[in-house]
Each structure stands twice: as C-alpha cells, then as structure tokens.
Amino acid sequence: MGIETESQDERQVSSESTAAEKKRWTLNDFDIGKPLGKGKFGHVYLAREKMSKHIVALKVLFKSQLKQSQVEHQLRREVEIQSHLRHPNILRLYGYFYDQKRVYLILEYAAKGELYKELQNCKYFSERRAATYIASLARALIYCHGKHVIHRDIKPENLLVGAEGELKIADFGWSVHTFNRRRTMCGTLDYLPPEMVESVEHDANVDIWSLGILCYEFLYGVPPFEAKEHSDTYRRIVQVDLKFPSRPIVSSAAKDLISRMLVKDSSQRLPLHKVLEHQWIVQNADPSGVYRG
C-alpha cells in the first residue's frame, strides 16, 4: 500500500533504508476532503491518497505557529515516536512532508472522532464500556512501554475512536522515548501523577496513574481530583484524596481497580498486565477489545 512509506526528512532516515528509496510526499498526492477539526496549531482534513485511494487524516500545521510556541522539537519527537508504533489502539502516523509555510502529518483516520465528545454526551460510561476501553489502553501502553515509550499524557482529549468503535491513542506530543528516569514537568493538571506534581523523577508508571484517572472519569464523568483552584487539585493529587461519590453507582470491583492504580508510590501501582487480569476487567471488558454499544 502506497501510504505505508514513511517520512522524507533525511535526518530521520533509518539504517535499513536510504533517502532515495523513500517516497517523498507532496500535497499533490492527496485529494483533500472535509475538515475534521481544528487544533491549536492548524487544521485536520479528511484526505485520500490518489494512488492507493487510502483514506487518511491530514493534519496541517503552520510553521510560524510552531516556531512561535517553540514546539518544533516536541513535534519532531512526536513524529519520530508515533511513526514507529504499530498497534490497533494507537493512531498510525504514516508519514509527513512540508512546504515553505506548513508541516503536514499523514495520520490514520479515526472515523468516529473524539472520545471526550462521546463522554460529554453520555456524561459517563457503563462499566462494560469503561472496562473494554481501559483493557485496550492497558494493552496499548504495555506495547509502548515494551518499546521504552512513555505516553505521559493519557486523557480523554487524546483518544480518538476508530470505525469499529476501537480506541486510538493519539497525540504523542508529550511522550518520551527513554531508558532513564525523567524529571520534566508535563501533562495536564487533572491527570498529573504525584511524582510529576512534585517534580521528582518519574518513569513508565506515570501512565498507570493516568489510566486510573481515566477509569474514574469514564465511570463518574469527572476526574477524581477536580477542584476550582489549581493549587487544590495539586494538593488533592499529592495526598491522593480519592473519594467515590454515591452516584452514579459504581461496582466495588471497579473502585478496587482504581484504588490500586492511584497509588502515590509509583512502584506500588498495579502493573499493566495485572490490570488486564483484574476481576473487574475480566468480568466486564469485551474480549474482542471493541465496545459495540
């Protein structure tokens, strides 16, 4: 399939192929369709690669805005990492190209759009739906961690839904490829683990914490440490001030899993393969990995 060929940047050419063998994409290779959405740095369009007729999402970023916000390095890292990941629950990045003013990312098209809109519509998800999603994300994160990639920014806004209803982790803007412990402050407030709030070293277990927050938000419709003031959210995270409201009614098995992921000592968080074996996941997650409504 034509679209499988990767990026054109000579600096990123891998050892197994040379720049000459690689397809150099241009805008002329695509028929551009309807806009799919607007992000901070540009627009995303439905597009079709002319040769293969493969449908993709084309993300168009303005170089001037990337420069102004000093995120070129972050984008480079995102492209480098995401283009090497192959998992059914991780959005594919097929390649990229650029012209004088713009950078174009050729992305897998997620036909059912953004998960957070679904969550807003439903307010909260059923236990079957939440468990199916959490299991698929645990599998995707096990895959990432196996490749020494930490996502660090798992939250509803970064999840898209494919045509079959499968979740796709998108946005690797904050992810890192690392063998070392990191000290950088990143991620979004409500999903930040205590070790990142306190700027101490962190490792791949930050993603277990975020998965715990996500599980809570799926089931209750709000993240667990939400507060009016940022300083209160920080305090609640650091103290792991975890409370389970009486409504909506959530099973004790689900609360047990959340409590085992939201543990301050990152080394004591339930490992992802154990998340998959937890009774709430086993009893509720659809074995196909896809929530069909």
CA-CA distance, 145 to 151, in Å (whole number)?
A: 9
Regarding 160 and contact with ligand AMP (CB under 6 A), the answer is yes
Confirm whether 241 is a catalytic residue.
Answer: no
- Of the candidates 9, 29, 153, 190, the residue annotated as catalytic is 153
Joined together, the tokens standing for residue 92 give: 């594919």
Site for ligand AMP in 168-187 (CB under 6 A): 171
Instruction: Report d(CA 127, CA 110) in Å as an integer.
Output: 23
Computed on alpha carbons and rounded to an integer, the radius of gyration of the chain in Å comes to: 20
Q: How far is the CB of 238 from ligand AMP (least distance, A)?
A: 29
Tokens 């805005």 found at = 65
Find the residue with minimal CB distance to ligand AMP: 39
Of the pair 66, 91, the CB lying nearest ligand AMP is at 91
Check: CB of residue 78 under 8 Å from CB of residue 177: no
* Helices and strands of the chain, counted as H and E runs: 10, 9
Distances in Å between the Cα of 139 and the Cα atoms of 25, 129, 133, 196 are 32, 16, 10, 23
Binding mask 58-97 for ligand AMP (x = CB under 6 A): ---------------------------------x------
Instruction: Give the shortest CB-61-to-ligand AMP separation in angstroms.
Output: 8
Binding letters toward ligand AMP, positions 23-62, x by CB under 6 A: -------------xxxx----x------------x-----
- Phi then psi for 34, rounded to 5 degrees? -70, 155
Site residue total, ligand AMP (CB under 6 A): 15
Was 59 annotated as part of a binding site?
Answer: yes
The 3-state DSSP class for residue 127 equals helix
Mask: binding to ligand AMP, 99-118, rule CB under 6 A, as x and -? --------xxxx--xx----
Joined together, the tokens standing for residue 32 give: 């551009």
Q: Annotated active-site positions, please? A: 153
For binding to ligand AMP (CB under 6 A), which residues are involved? 36-39, 44, 57, 91, 107-110, 113-114, 160, 171
